Amino acid sequence: MLDPVKISKALSEPARYKIMLMLVNQYYREVSQCCSFTTEGVCNCEIMAEFGMIQSRVSYHMKELTEAGLVTEKPCGKWKYYIPNAETLKNYINQLGVDFKL
Amino acid sequence: MLDPVKISKALSEPARYKIMLMLVNQYYREVSQCCSFTTEGVCNCEIMAEFGMIQSRVSYHMKELTEAGLVTEKPCGKWKYYIPNAETLKNYINQLGVDFKL
DNA sequence: TGCATACATCAAATATTTCTGATATGATAA
DNA sequence: TTATCATATCAGAAATATTTGATGTATGCA
């Protein structure tokens, strides 16, 4: 099911942790920076701008986060929006509690 | 203070996660396998035996766990016992909750 | 249609982590 | 003391992860 080692690894990269923080804080806004209509989620190009990262690097990290289940992708035309997956984070925390008897 | 990225990294290695599970489940026993008296904690050689790992490999991983604050060392003669640090795990979980607004 | 934009993917380079065997340190016991 | 045992540390090898630039794919617009 949920693999706490895999999620730990996804969170263990500083750039990825920062991206997760950004997603959590900005994923719901009135007006998106890219699409001309209201939407939720943060797109690739916003992450590039925020951290000064090149496009392929952002893509790589978003794939890692998505494969760990920490992020959900929402394509929107030629853009792609990312939404943090609170369920996975909750399950991860819960699993740690069970595994380590907290 | 507490660095969630560092703790994630410590937990992101399969061998280390398994060692943490072992520590949590065995750190308090009536009779130690190594010392001739009752003690708490699991020693290096028990971890070696449990997972079939060589000594330097166990030492390496225990150092990583200790430096992340996940384990506390308790020297006992020529042995060294490791005790899981529940406080760090709790703080880690708490920090994730704050950071990701759970 | 052709062009521009956004993101994905690839291969190569670089960086980092993990593993191993050798050796060092420190404690115990004869 | 000397021998032995448990653990630490080191240097090199091996394995993995990350970064980059080039190229591919798909969408939207003129």
Cβ density class A44-71: b for 16+ within 10 Å, e for less: bebbeeeeebeeeebeebbebbeebbbb
ipTM of the complex model:
0.92
User: Which residue is nearest to the C1' sugar atom of D27, using CA?
Assistant: A78
What is the token pair recorded at B4? 């969630």
CA distance A78 to A53: 19
Q: What percent of chain A has pLDDT over 70?
A: 89
> What is the nearest CA distance from B27 to chain A, expressed in angstroms?
12
For chain A, the straight-line distance linking the first and the last C-alpha, in angstroms and rounded, comes to 20
Q: Could you read off the pLDDT of A25-65 as tens digits, one per residue?
A: 987 676 666 665 656 889 999 999 999 999 999 999 999 99
**Nearest-CA neighbor of B12 among A3, A91, A75?**
A3
Distance A57 CA to C14 C1' (A): 14
Q: Could you read off the pLDDT of B57-91 as tens digits, one per residue?
A: 999 999 999 999 999 999 988 899 999 999 999 99
pLDDT for position A41: 87
Q: Which chain A residues are Cβ-neighbours of B90 within 8 angstroms?
A: 102
Q: Which chain B residues are Cβ-neighbours of A4 within 8 angstroms?
A: 11, 17
- SS3 category, A79: strand
Looking up tokens 């986060």, which residue turns up? A65
**Residue B12 vs residue A45, higher pLDDT:** B12
What is the token pair recorded at B61? 């991983």
- SS3 category, B38: coil
Which nucleotide's C1' sits nearest to the alpha carbon of B79? Answer: D6
Dihedrals φ, ψ of A13, to 5°?
-100, 125
Q: Which chain B residues are Cβ-neighbours of A70 within 8 angstroms?
A: none
Q: All domains of chain B, ordered by start, with CATH?
A: 4-99 (1.10.10.10)
Q: Count Cβ atoms within 10 A of the Cβ of residue B11 and give its class: 0-12 exposed, 13-18 middle, 19 or more buried.
A: buried
Q: Could you read off the pLDDT of B51-61 as tens digits, one per residue?
A: 999 999 999 99
